Amino acid sequence: MIPPQKQMTGMLGHPVAENPIDRMFDAVYAHHGLCWQFWKNDIASAADLALAVRALVPLGYRGMAITVPYKVAVMPLLDTVDDDVRAIGAANYLTIEAGRLIGHNNDGKGVVKAIEKLAPLAGRRVVMLGAGGAGRAMAVEMAWAGAAHLTLITRRQEQGQEVADTVTRASGVPAVWQAWEGEVTVPAGTTLLMNATHLGCAPELEPVPVRWDSVDPACVVVDVITNPRITPFLATARSRGCPVVDGVEMLVQLAMQIFEQWTGVTPEEAVFQRAVAEALGE
């Protein structure tokens, strides 16, 4: 008997090679007996992004994740977006319904769930390094979850200030921009420090230039990088006694939400955790 045609899902971004998301989704599809598949697609330019997005409907895709650097650039290419995308100004996944591309954003929801498995966000003073498409979603969602204050540290003032303004406009929580110049001195009173850049990703494993003597050992330290699970940034934080949250945990939390949105099946977290651990060779 010829099996039914696979339902296609995937990711658009650049680079995508080191991301374990395809191994995770394919394992979970198989666990639930779904004839679905997940493809990572390395898209070299914004022009190619437009071509790829236009092809999703005729190719029969059911859903698509969007990763760096296209979470903002993809928005004009969509038919509509949900309220989260309107508030945040970026989309990290699409559903495809009746030939229409619908943008959603759960980057921040994933990070909030991952952090709150370790510690509550309410009242925290957050410092975020970087403020791209994922960072802006995380900043807004952390504010919605009760963070008391956010500092966005970026090299480009226009980007950082725009995200700070978005946070305050969407949540009412005060947010400010700080210039990233050389080694970052973390402001006094910071209780959560997040790396939202690509520094530390395999295979380069670049260090994040932070003055660790300015980081309180009680400060929760978070990294969005998914490969490796424990980046140089988190390894240093852990060696100084800081509680840490890794990017793999965030990926699992947001992937479960996307899986359920695409398939209508309630996922089992243990299956996601096991699949991503195997993908990373753990």
> What is the domain partition of the chain in residue ranges?
7-105+249-279, 108-245
**Confidence class for position 133, pLDDT limits 50, 70, 90:** confident
Active site residue 40: no
Instruction: Burial-class residue 245 by CB neighbours within 10 Å (0-12, 13-18, 19+).
Output: buried
Average pLDDT, stretch 101-116? 95
pTM of the model: 0.88
**Contact 234/244 with Cβ under 8 angstroms?**
yes
Fold for the domain defined by 108-245: Rossmann fold (3.40.50)
Residue 5's pLDDT is: 87
Chain mean pLDDT for the chain: 95
Superfamily designation of domain 7-105+249-279: Leucine Dehydrogenase, chain A, domain 1 (3.40.50.10860)
Each residue's pLDDT tens digit, 144-161: 999 999 999 999 999 999
Q: Which of 6, 40, 71, 109 is catalytic?
A: 71
Each residue's pLDDT tens digit, 17-52: 888 899 999 999 999 999 999 999 999 999 999 999
Sequential DSSP letters for 244-259: EE-HHHHHHHHHHHHH
Least confident of 55-59, 105-109, 235-239: 105-109
Q: How far apart are CA 230 and CA 225, in angstroms?
A: 9
